[in-house]
Structure 1
Amino acid sequence: MTLNVKLYTMCMVQNGNQVLLINRPDKKGFPGYIAPGGKVDFPESIVDAAIREVKEETGLTVKRIAYKGLDEFCDPGQNLRYMVFNYLVTEFEGELLQNPPEGDLLWVDKEEALELPMQSWFKRRFPLFFNQGTFELSALWDSQTNTEGKETFRQYE
């Protein structure tokens, strides 16, 4: 059986003590507040995909970006490895889109962000963007039973 690998990015855009989040509607999947990001198009580099997704979803042009870590889940039943490469954007320019394609944009204080409705996996990942160093989070997932299996987490200095 062929291994199916899906590559995605996620970028936390930070301006001082605030972060930029997208309020995704139900019809887009993963409803609630989330950071910008999306699919990596072949053969673009992963960091180029992250920068492109920020521009497409927010209108902002990334000036400084740092790799923060990898979050992945593997579904052995589907031979699927779903990898999300996470970045922190701390310098940017431009104006926010008036009609963003993925949902309404909101600048929110970092300390208040977790009070917003969001997916549990994003809520768990949120603080990792602001820790020193990088992280690696990997979980097994069984899509037939909708359950999570063994999880591996590492924080690197």
Structure 2
Amino acid sequence: MSNLQDTIKELELAQIGWVVPDIHAAVKFLSQALGVAGFPEPQLMRAQDLDMSYKGKVVAAEWLTTQTHNGGVFVELVQPLSGQSMFHDYLEKYPLGGTQHLAFRLPISGFEQVTDNLRQLGYAVISEVDHPIARMAFFDTYATTGMVTEIMGITPEGWKAVKQMEKSR
């Protein structure tokens, strides 16, 4: 088993997550003005379907999301629709939207070590997802970085999905 510093070396920036009031306007701007192309049609997501916790409980929440791969990272857009989630909280505080989270990924084998370390450092988990392709934990690092920090532990199946998504751009 590797030590924490060796595990942290495996972390790589994977995604920039923007929460926006109008996902279609954001896609149009990024595509037309900045050439960030390849956004698929936004999909409706439900926290209950993902078994996504919010402050320790799975609560009703819906949002639209889309993402594309650009310049080595994924650009994710999220438009909250209903219910309560960290995305809804962000848009309530910042009605014009903005960068809500940065996601760092590593193999699933290092996920517990990194997330346990962040908990020991006093960072609270806002949301968690345990998906077949990745485990995700979103930490409240607003006071330190101005945004949420997401840690993604990618499973072997997940690495295949990542490679497909990178190529689809």
* Superposed pair shares fold, TM > 0.5: no
Of Structure 1 and Structure 2, the greater helix share is in 2
Provide the TM-score with structure 1 as the length reference: 0.27
Provide the TM-score with structure 2 as the length reference: 0.26
